[in-house]
Structure 1
Amino acid sequence: MDFCSNSDSPFNCLLFDLDDTLYSSKVGIGEGVKRNIDGFLVEKCGFAENKASTLRVELFKTYGSTLAGLRVLGYDIDADDYHRNHAIECLKRLGIEDCFEQIICFETMNPNLSKVTRPDEFPIVLKPSMDAMKIALDVADVDPRRTLFLDDNVKNVTAGKALGLRTVLVGKTMKSKEADYALENINNLAQVVPEIWFSKSDGGDERITRTRSELDSILTTMSVGA
């Protein structure tokens, strides 16, 4: 899982959030996801079409995700059916599906939902809870001190910082006290965190130049909370 050039580099792993981090909120994927959720509420759960959008927002604000809220309300929703391979499809559209070693997602953090007899009896684990972050780090099997965690949500970044991760707040030009770095766009990573592109050689710093294909091969990254 080596990302940096040698053992002198401060990071050897990147841990990415997916939505609004690996892609900008302006590209339209997020709006498409919201429409899909509204459609799911109508088609699978029987809610009125004119109520779906409001319900989606209310469930997200109250329970952290629409799916978590639906299960609390007693709907036996299958997580795989609900998520519709969202992470894989996003990565394909971005053209980076081959750049990731592992995807850590809702199903990773909540592996026993299919065994629950009553949908509301099993608490769903989501970011930014510490339990969710600990599960992600255990599954990723990384050293938090040498892992760079990128997320667009301040609460998620705060949780990551509390567990010893080096943190990047994406979508902002000014970093918060919980973030070690701030990126307006993920494409600015090399400029804002230049140490991941440097190695010590013969007592000095030397810039590493890579082709696109070489960069793809070393960007061994992971996504949390897809």
Structure 2
Amino acid sequence: MVEKLGIESSKTDEMTNLLYSNYGTTIAGLRAIGYDFDYEEYYRHCCFFLFPHHFQMANDFVHGKLPYENLKPDPVLRNLLLSLPHKKLIFTNSDKVHTIKTLERLGLEDCFEGITCFETLNPINNGTVCDDQENIEAATSRATNPTPKIGLKISEIFDIIQHFAQPDPTTVLPTTPIICKPSEHAIELALKIANLNPQTTLFFEDSVRNIQAGKRVGLHTVLVGKSYRVKGADYAMESIHNLREAVPELWETDIKAHVIACPGTQKLAVETSVMA
């Protein structure tokens, strides 16, 4: 933000918090308020990195080198995932390279059938995308994704700090051209690309905001990292390692709709999918 976009260093913390809280990710917020930059370069230099029990933001300019050595293999989670008799997919706001590196460090690279990542919903300019291009183009053909602004002048940047410091009811936040969680459109698009029915899909998240968005589009939801349920969460578990105890029905060959909080559906067997 400082070295590439020219933002004052004294404003970055407050701006990052406002962008994340209003747009779901900093990159989506930066594009919304008018900054233009290369997506690939952004993800090389500023990224979220995953630890076994929480997410942490990389605040330093890391030049594409994240401390992946802090991630250790998780054989307990690996055994859980491999024993789960359902299709398992990853849906992440991060980029594909980071996602794969993280999975490899955790020893989970062969536990999922697919990845829907940042490039899937926001194809990079050079044509590099995560999944099959034809599927993406078909799924996004009716997407309302604004064309990114190019060559904006500094005077055209929306001052989000000023907007919240002195609220003006006549001013609304600009929309972002980036598709990502917690946008309901992003979740619906990810489901369409993966050919999943939300009524037979269990959605795992550590973000309450993402859980609630998932519930609004018809997913069945599991909040990870909390021992109590919140609005929008069908299940809650302190750790993903508690999955078998929290949702034992996932290992049953005949899953009853009422047991897994799927009112109005018929009995489910192999149709159930798991998206994390």
Q: What is the aligned-residue identity percentage?
A: 48
Task: Pick the structure with more strand per residue.
Answer: 1
Aligned residues: 164
Q: Is the 8 A contact 1:79 1:107 kept in 2?
A: no
2:124 and 2:41 mapped to 1: Cα distance? 15
- For 1:221 and 1:51, locate their aligned partners in 2 and report how far apart those are by CA, in whole Å: 39
AA matched with 1:95 = G
Give runs of ≥4 in structure 1 deviating > 4 Å.
48-51, 112-115, 119-122, 220-223
When residues 50 and 86 of structure 1 are mapped into structure 2, their CA distance, relative to the original with a 3 A threshold, is farther
Using the alignment, how far apart are the partners of 1:82 and 1:47 within structure 2? 15
Residues 33-52 of structure 1: CA distance to partner in whole angstroms, max 9, x if unpaired? xxxxxxxx233223455543
Work out the CA distance in 2 between the residues paired with 1:177 and 1:116.
34
Higher relative contact order, structure no. (Cα contacts within 8 Å, ≥ 6 residues apart): 1
- Contact kept in structure 1, 2:215 and 2:221, CA below 8 Å: yes
| Contact 1:173 1:184 survives alignment (8 Å) | yes
> Where does residue 104 of structure 2 map in the other structure?
92
Distance 2:191 2:151 in 1: 26
Pick one of 180, 189, 197 that aligns with 1:143. Answer: 197
The two structures have a TM-score, normalised by structure 2, of 0.52
Give 3-state SS (helix, strand or coil) of 2:5's partner: coil
Q: List gaps (5 residues or longer) in structure 1.
A: 1-40, 201-219
Q: Distance in 2 between matches of 1:52 and 1:86?
A: 23
- Deviations for 1:162-195, whole angstroms, at most 9, x for unmatched residues? 2222111111111124221111111111110001
Task: State the Cα deviation string for residues 198-218 of structure 1 (Å, max 9, x = none).
Answer: 235xxxxxxxxxxxxxxxxxx
Which AA in structure 2 matches 1:154? V
1:113 Cα deviation from its structure 2 partner:
6.8
RMSD: 2.8
Q: 2:21 aligns with which of 49, 58, 61?
A: 61
Query: Could you state the TM-score of these two structures normalised by the residue count of structure 1?
Result: 0.62
